[in-house]
Amino acid sequence: MTEKLIEAIGVTRHYKLAGGRVLRALDGVDLAIGRGATLGLVGESGSGKSTLGRVMVGLQSPTEGEIRFEGLNAAAADPAQSVRLRRQRQIVFQDPSGALNPRMTIGDTIIEHLRVQGWSRVEAREQAARVLDDCGLSASFLSAYPHEISGGQRQRAVIARAISTDPAFIVADEPVSALDVSTRAQIMNLLRDLQRTRGLTMLFISHDLSVVAHMCRDVAVMYLGRIVEIAPRGVLFKSPLHPYTAALISAIPLPDPARERTRRPILLKGEPPDPSATPKGCRFHTRCPRATDLCREVDPETRAFSSAHMAACHHPLTQAPVERTIA
Amino acid sequence: MVDVPAAEIILPRPAQRFGALRRLLRHRLAALGLIVIGLLAIGSAGAPWLAPYQPDDIDIAQRYAPPLSEGHILGSDDLGRDVLTRLLYAGQVSLSVGLAAMLVTVLVGFAVGAFAAYHGGWVDIALMRLTDIMLCFPSVFLLLFVAAFVTPSLASIALMIGLTCWMEIARIVYAQILTLKSADFIAAARMVGAPSWRIIFRQILPNTLAPILVAATLNMANAILLESYISFLGYGIQPPAASWGNMLTNAQSDFQVDPWLAILPGLAITLAVASFNFIGDGLRDALDPRMRERSAGALR
Amino acid sequence: MTALLEVEKLAVSFGTMRAVDAISFTVESGEILGLVGESGCGKTTAALALMRLLRGATCTGAARLADVDLFSLDEPAMRARRGSDLAMIFQDPATALHPTIQVGDQLVETLRTHLNLSARQARSRALDLFRKVGIAAPEARLRAFPHELSGGMCQRVMIAMAIACSPLLLLADEPTTALDVTVQAQILDLLRQVTREAGMSVVLITHDLGVVAGMADRVAVMYAGAIVEMAGTDRLFAAPRHPYTRGLLASIPALDQGWDEPIPTLAGSVQSAFEVPGCRFSPRCPLASEICRSAPSLREVAPGHFVSCWNAA
């Protein structure tokens, strides 16, 4: 792998709930993304994928563990470093309507974003026009209010705001889930183009495997606050190791009637358990078709099955691990 | 297949920036309210030039002149003072006390609501419980209680009314900020390190302006009414200075004989209060975001 | 033979805006018709119009279900049909259920109003239905409130209520859109199974062409209030004729599609398509020409394959 740009080391994020219960949104996540790489993060609701994205950009701080950006622990940064860290890490949100201030024009939204970072008004305005143009919006959008433009255009504006500070790392948190099919492809192409031309490092979060597959070279699968499998996309789809990944892949309806007739989805039992009551042992055992007594007792460690393929499962679907590493 | 990578065809819709104002003016009662308030304000502000007499000019020869009598269009009172003149000067007092009190309610209400919601934790609990407790007492009681200890003046009355009527605004602001606080655009601002004051004033305040404006207008009506109450009860503006409320008190003893002395200030109070209420209702409709969408012809 | 549901020139307007523009289609008995389109295309509005659940809208046209004209029934008669002859399930099951009534009681209520059952009979029927839709521990779940159930479980309850009186036609509006992928697979499986068993016809409304491909016998594609193409599922996916259908199909990222190619896209967005004169798709259409200024109508280009386009290849 190339130089690591951003790393999550043993990151947990717990929320205290009423009645003394604890919601483990993240429960020991290790993750590293190389400079210029694109990592897809898939999982169902409650898997903690959005929380991980927010922790990675510093919107939330981890309960335990640390986020390292270019080797620097984000929690231990001095004020000058903090300013740089904030500039370098940006996020694109799922719902473009909620991500833009309804009472501000698109231009003012981006300008305000830059002004906070110490840009002058004139420079900020020029930069706003420039990034809007990069995102396919003409300068006439500077003075438009969010409710005056379409959902796709709003998402372009949100992306423009994110790239306005010239970040190195972007978290795209379900950026196309709220959009229509035809708009979705436009936004995916835009993100891909920006990623290439600007050499962005990207964490692309989605519940939709086919979207992630199209955007990212590597894919990580999350289940109940932990990454259960991570591999290059081709490998992951052809030979998934974790039964959950296999079920996830088989559950995607294909826009092809002939293949749909032969597709036999692996139907999992029930639904993901409440993240405030993570099962003992392997967290997937309550729904897993391969679960044994071992799985009910012992939480599996993440093992490397090849140099880039890791999974946390006692009974993986293929291959034996080549080496045992990664705590 | 078509592949236009970037530019979408549709440009932003022509802005409807002044849509709210236009909708407000289309609201008939609100428009009427604006006109009445405008006239009252001009009359009061211009009292030194418009009024035929000085408010304290006593004319013993012309006591209890009925309306439309010569020299006194709206008649004169028990000391022969011109009623029209006194009404206009009283309007200065009532309207400015109303305005000042309203400003106090907005400032205090916003500060309490915003601080509680944004800070959270024990500050939230302390401030909002205080708000709840204050709401348990009718404003008039609070007001009369405080008034017993304070020498009445324009400023002190405005302050007293303001300090007993801010709770509703605090609650509105509190609820708005709690919802806005979790919005993604606030997260985006926090992420680039915007300080709290900047987030509150640049991002949050513009979004809470509409409901605050509505509540403020209604508070204005309420404040005018309260000022009249306490002046009527003798705790407010002290004679010989005129306010609509103490003109009523003055008219009390002669009500059977000369009802116009009570009817005219009563009418002024009613007009002002009703107008502000109409404007408030009109604003509420005009600023409703759903109304905006409908007029923009949104799909779905 | 006549179809189970015949919809003729159904049009719905809100004020001056025509949300649904004279659409006609039929559903045979036991058939699943997929109604596909993006948000705002009028697919949900059309379904609500069939249920006569739209307020403040003007509906014209005709809809005959088993030879009964739904639009000429009076309100009590229509109320009796809803539930017993045609039922609907919604995208968000959590809000479609009454929040403060136990789900079992809601189901029993439905059963008693439509089937004239005693309380005890209805209760045991409800239990059967819960088992049938795959709800584990049905006795306990009958006493649950909607907020105590997960999204998938709520959707199962909705399905149980919808099939309770064995309706002839089920309108399913985005039944799995709000659900997770693995749960979506379960619910689709369940829908397929219960409707096939009962020989029920289904209008499956969705934006997801993948869901349609696996579920529907025939597909109607809607754009800006009109049906632009309608054909058997295999045919529609194999040989789409309308440029919108083609664009839509091409813009779905496929799992095995190369990482390096951009996805073909349709330019622009649906916004304000309702104001376009002539063919509403023409501003976004790669084939648009002079003739598209007048509105095309659905014509049969092959047996059972209808397209509304002047220039359809």
Identify from C12, C272, C275, C285 which residue to disrupt to test chain B contact, counting B C-beta atoms within 10 A and taking the largest count. C272
pLDDT score recorded for residue B7: 37
Task: Identify the CA nearest to C97 among candidates C165, C157, C138.
Answer: C157
Summary mean pLDDT of chain C: 87
What distance, in Å, lies between the first and last C-alpha atoms of chain C? 32
Chain B CB contacts of C250 under 8 Å are 1
pLDDT score recorded for residue A319: 56
The shortest C-alpha distance from C267 to chain B (Å) reads 6
> Distances from the Cα of C255 to the Cαs of A214, A239, C109, in angstroms?
7, 14, 45
Question: Are residues B5 and C17, on separate chains, in Cβ contact within 8 Å?
Answer: no
Size of interface A-C (CB pairs under 8 A): 134
pLDDT score recorded for residue C219: 95
Q: Find how far residue A315's CA is from the centre of its chain.
A: 27
pLDDT score recorded for residue A195: 93
- Res. B290: pLDDT tops 80: no
Residue C301, SS3? strand
pLDDT score recorded for residue B3: 37
pLDDT score recorded for residue B1: 34
The verdict on C119 touching A (C-beta cutoff 8 Å) is: no
Chain C CB contacts of A153 under 8 Å are 269
Rounded Cα distance between A135 and A85, Å, is: 23
Nearest CA in chain C to B300: C40
pLDDT score recorded for residue B60: 72
pLDDT score recorded for residue C10: 92
Nearest CA in chain B to C16: B297
pLDDT score recorded for residue C313: 60
Task: Give the tens place of pLDDT for each residue, B74-93.
Answer: 777 777 777 788 888 888 88
Question: Are residues A255 and C209, on separate chains, in Cβ contact within 8 Å?
Answer: yes
Please identify among residues 244-283 of chain B the ones whose CB lies closer than 8 Å to any CB of chain A: none
With both helix axes pointing from N to C terminus, report the angle between C103-115 and C119-132 in degrees, rounded to the nearest 10: 120
Rounded Cα distance between C219 and C166, Å, is: 24
Task: Give the tens place of pLDDT for each residue, C26-51.
Answer: 999 999 999 998 888 888 889 999 98
Chain C CB contacts of B2 under 8 Å are 247, 264-267, 284, 286
ipTM attached to this prediction: 0.83
Residue A11 host element (H or E): strand A4-16
pLDDT score recorded for residue C259: 62
The shortest C-alpha distance from C264 to chain B (Å) reads 6
Chain A CB contacts of B187 under 8 Å are 54, 59, 91, 93
- Res. B9: pLDDT tops 60: no
Rounded Cα distance between B117 and B180, Å, is: 10
Give Cβ neighbours of residue C306 (< 8 Å, ≥ 6 apart). Answer: C227, C229, C230, C231, C298, C299, C300
pLDDT score recorded for residue C260: 66
Task: Identify the CA nearest to B76 among candidates B84, B85, B65, B92.
Answer: B65
Rounded Cα distance between A305 and A239, Å, is: 11
CA contacts within 13 A on the Cβ side of B203: 31
Q: What is the mean pLDDT of residues C268-280?
A: 75
pLDDT tens track, chain A, 327 positions: 568 899 999 999 998 887 778 888 898 899 999 999 999 999 988 888 999 999 999 998 899 999 999 988 888 888 888 888 989 999 999 888 889 998 889 999 999 999 998 899 999 999 999 999 999 998 889 988 888 888 889 999 999 999 999 999 999 999 998 888 888 888 999 999 999 999 999 999 998 888 888 889 899 999 999 999 999 988 888 889 999 999 988 888 888 888 888 888 888 887 777 778 888 889 999 888 888 899 999 999 888 888 889 999 998 887 544 443 333
Task: Identify the CA nearest to A165 among candidates A110, A93, A104, A92.
Answer: A110
User: Using CB atoms, which residue from C153, C185, C271 is nearest to A267?
Assistant: C185
Question: Are residues C284 and B2, on separate chains, in Cβ contact within 8 Å?
Answer: yes
User: Using CB atoms, which residue from B5, B10, B297 is nearest to C268?
Assistant: B10
The verdict on C263 touching A (C-beta cutoff 8 Å) is: yes
Q: What is the mean pLDDT of residues B285-289?
A: 70
Residue C107, SS3? helix
Higher per-residue confidence, C301 vs B82:
C301
**C→B interface, C-beta within 8 Å:** 17, 39-40, 246-247, 250, 262, 264-272, 274, 283-284, 286
The verdict on B4 touching C (C-beta cutoff 8 Å) is: yes
> Distances from the Cα of A236 to the Cαs of A7, A219, A320, B122, B206, in angstroms?
21, 7, 15, 49, 48
The shortest C-alpha distance from A103 to chain C (Å) reads 21
The verdict on C198 touching A (C-beta cutoff 8 Å) is: no
Task: Give the tens place of pLDDT for each residue, B48-67.
Answer: 787 777 777 777 777 777 77
Residue C212 confidence class, pLDDT cut points 50, 70, 90: very high
- Res. C76: pLDDT tops 70: yes
Rounded Cα distance between C246 and A47, Å, is: 35
Question: Are residues C40 and B299, on separate chains, in Cβ contact within 8 Å?
Answer: yes
Cis before A316 (ω within 30): no
pLDDT score recorded for residue C286: 86
Report strand pairing: C305-307 vs C226-232.
Answer: antiparallel
Residue A22 host element (H or E): strand A22-34
Q: The sheet that has A309-311: what strands, in order across it?
A: A89-92, A169-173, A201-206, A38-42, A218-223, A226-232, A309-311, A303-306
Residue A32, SS3? strand
Rounded Cα distance between B261 and B247, Å, is: 8
What distance, in Å, lies between the first and last C-alpha atoms of chain B? 28
Query: What is the percent of chain A where pLDDT is above 70?
Result: 97
> Is the CB of residue C186 less than 8 Å from the CB of residue C152?
yes
Query: What is the percent of chain C where pLDDT is above 90?
Result: 26
- Tell me whether residue B110 is exposed, middle or buried, using C-beta atoms within 10 angstroms of its C-beta: 0 to 12, 13 to 18, 19 or more: buried
Q: How many residues does chain A have?
A: 327
CA angle A220, A221, A222 (to 5 degrees): 120
Question: Are residues A153 and B8, on separate chains, in Cβ contact within 8 Å?
Answer: yes
Phi-psi region of A48 (alpha: psi -120 to 50; beta: other; left: phi over 0): left
Nearest CA in chain C to B11: C268
Chain A CB contacts of C213 under 8 Å are 253-257, 260
Task: Give the tens place of pLDDT for each residue, B16-49.
Answer: 556 677 777 788 888 888 888 898 888 888 777 8
The verdict on B183 touching A (C-beta cutoff 8 Å) is: yes
pTM for the full predicted model: 0.82
- Res. B253: pLDDT tops 90: no
Query: What is the percent of chain C where pLDDT is above 70?
Result: 96
**Of the ranges B270-274, C92-96, C176-180, C214-218, which one carries the lowest mean pLDDT score?**
C92-96
pLDDT score recorded for residue C203: 94
Rounded Cα distance between B162 and A308, Å, is: 67
Chain B CB contacts of C274 under 8 Å are 299
Q: What one-letter code names the amino acid at A261?
A: R
pLDDT score recorded for residue B246: 81
Question: Are residues C270 and B4, on separate chains, in Cβ contact within 8 Å?
Answer: no
Give Cβ neighbours of residue C274 (< 8 Å, ≥ 6 apart). Answer: B299, C17, C18, C19, C224, C225, C280
Question: Are residues A211 and C253, on separate chains, in Cβ contact within 8 Å?
Answer: yes
All chains having 3 or more CB pairs closer than 8 angstroms to chain C: A, B
